[in-house]
Amino acid sequence: MHLHSEHANPTEKVVLSNVSNSSSHADVELNAYNAAFHELGFRWFWDRETYRELFSRDAPAAENIHHYLSTRQPHLLKADDAAFLVQVIAEKTAQYVARNSTSERACRHFDWAQAIGCEVGA
């Protein structure tokens, strides 16, 4: 899958929180990342352990996403710019959080392991 980086706005910042004290917020955010991956056609998902491992680092969300891509999905960085991938994942995640953070749907657990073609953390 190749994503076109000319649509990325490098000056636009997307802010996502690090692990919150609220487990429900963390669950919403974890679901948001997984929904973003799925929507972008990536075949992996993060389980709670992967999410905690990444976001327990004392770093902004964008750096955590970049770290994951460079350590667990380095093949993607051959086709697309890392900054663009981080931006598009962050944007899709933020859109999901905005749509679902106050709704009942956000509280429901979705088993990403059951999604066709998904691989945990790959």
CA–CA separation, 112 and 37 (whole Å): 10
Q: Return the domain boundaries, the chain.
A: 22-114
| Strand segments (E) across the chain | 44-45, 119-120
Using the predicted structure, report yes or no on whether residue 107 has a pLDDT greater than 80.
no
Indicate the pLDDT class of residue 8, thresholds 50, 70 and 90: very low
Using the predicted structure, report yes or no on whether residue 29 has a pLDDT greater than 50.
yes
Write down the pLDDT at residue 114.
66
Which one is predicted more confidently, 98 or 74? 74
Write down the pLDDT at residue 99.
83
How many CB atoms lie under 10 A from the CB of residue 84? 17
Using the predicted structure, report yes or no on whether residue 56 has a pLDDT greater than 70.
yes
Write down the pLDDT at residue 105.
56
Length of the chain equals 122
Its pTM stands at: 0.70
What is the CATH code for 22-114? 1.10.150.240
